[in-house]
Chain A
């Protein structure tokens, strides 16, 4: 029994760290622009494909990772420049709707350009063996996934907490007008935030493809909305919160699905947790009251 619980915990943490990686870009964007950036999931899909093709042609997983991040960062900044910046003064639902339309557009383009079928994705360089610790089976791939994501989070946190740029973006999140008056270049900070958040989403896409051995045009569908739950759990704009929120969601889904799966399916639990949480704490789990 204890083995089974540990096994569930391990799976939950792995999936949760993936959720966290996809939600991070969303939380950065939301902190600055207050836009629910659904098209982020489209960036994630395109990042996955970029990594897949880079790996297919070079056979090098590092190149694949870099390609994912580069393509995703470009797309993210592109969406920001072409669409979001022009819509800042519009009612909030306008950029949201545009974001959703872009997401569907990116999926459909991916389907027609890269093929409607999923692509099997097997990275030979990755360790495949499983280790048995007591009754617990630890898959080497799980270790890889969790450590890549954790190190990405740590480096991003370092950038945002320790550098001048990071301080500038924190200032913008706190008060956009005052910090602009103090000489913070809004557009540069936005670009960098979009680039970083999107790069991590691209990497997450690649890692998910690797972990589940396939990449497909519609792989962003569930991610798109589940990432919203993660940022509510973790609090908008918080990096540590995204990580925490992702892992809480991953672990609670795993257990609820395993033991209460007959009441409602997995995808419903995420949202039930969310709605209950919001009723109890309308400002989010880690959010401050107004």
Chain B
């Protein structure tokens, strides 16, 4: 049986947004730095990738890491600002960053202005165009790689430093951890993940417009992270599946479906604020019990 393209499309979207959410899990969940502008980093990656392939003729395989790098660079800049700011000022600054980036996309023609950029090429391997199922495989391979990197980082010095920065900055400093440096790394890494997700969505849809990266999408990505569990690496995938699939399930409800969807999120956060796979969540506890037995 051929898997209908619809499911493949959803699977691809889940995979791509899981990467963006994973980036947020690193910045927010692991290092405790609020970022409400992840969609902007996706946008930077997507625009970079589109321009590099379409206007400069670079192959996708170069544009993909380059767009991660560029978004990471932007993240470093925001990180430099972030080290000066307290929690909520930082939250508001990242919202502002998202608005500014989107309006730059809108106002400057190189980013397609209000018309957008079309005809972004799909990646090819030895002349074979990667679409549909092949693209899904590519997305999930990248997701797996990025999850592994996040896990490796988490289990080694990075994770320990992040935890210290998150929980007690002064203690971290007294232990000789360069808090400033790690905050910036957290932003850069999270942003780079966002950029890679952006590149992947651009080459999947082949069309991008400035409005694809508006602030509401940052909120969407954030809700994936929180629902899945901000401090959990697989949580990003769980959160992305719920946030993307739930509205699809409610599709027959047409104009009422967002009422359903937002109610579920509000109620869930009330009773399960650490997300489905976050530490202290019932699912995690259950899992631990089963494993211990």
Direct contact between the two chains A and B in their complex (CB within 8 A): yes
Interface size band for B: 35 or more
- Scan B180-221; emit 1 where CB is below 8 A from any A CB, else 0: 000000000000000000000000000000000001000100
Decide if B97 is an interface residue (CB 8 Å cutoff): yes
Q: Are the C-beta atoms of B85 and A278 separated by less than 8 Å? A: yes
Instruction: Point out the residues of chain A lying under 8 angstroms from B273, CB to CB.
Output: 87, 90-91, 94
B226 engages A97 (CB within 8 Å): yes
- The interface residues of chain B lying within 8 Å CB-to-CB of A105 are 258-259, 262-263, 266
State how many angstroms separate the Cβ of B101 from the closest Cβ of chain A. 9
* A29–B68 alpha-carbon span in the complex (Å): 38
User: Which residues of chain B from 262 to 292 have a CB within 8 Å of any chain A CB?
Assistant: 262-263, 265-266, 269-270, 273
Give the size category of A's interface with B: 35 or more
Contacts A97-B269, A282-B85 given; does A264 touch B99 at CB 8 Å: no
Give chain B interface residues in 83-119, CB to chain A under 8 Å. 84-89, 91-93, 95-97, 99-100, 103-104, 106-107
What per-residue 1/0 map shows which CB atoms of A82-123 lie under 8 Å from chain B?
Answer: 010011001111101110111011001101100010000000
Assess whether B255 is interfacial by the CB under 8 Å rule: yes
A94 to B280, CA, bound (A): 14
CB pair B93–A101 under 8 Å, yes or no, is: no
- Which segment, of A126-134, A176-184, A207-215, A268-276, faces chain B? A268-276
Q: Is the interface of B mostly helix, strand, loop or mixed?
A: helix
Inter-chain contact A278/B256, CB cutoff 8 Å: no
Residues of A164-203 whose CB lies within 8 A of B: none
Chain B residues near A2 (CB-CB < 8 A): none
Cβ contact within 8 Å between B226 and A275: no
Q: How far is the CA of A270 from the CA of B215 in the complex (A)?
A: 15
Q: Are A264 and B266 in contact (CB under 8 A)?
A: no
Residues in B lying within 8 Å of A, measured CB to CB: 28, 34, 81, 84-89, 91-93, 95-97, 99-100, 103-104, 106-107, 215, 219, 222-223, 226, 230, 255-256, 258-259, 262-263, 265-266, 269-270, 273
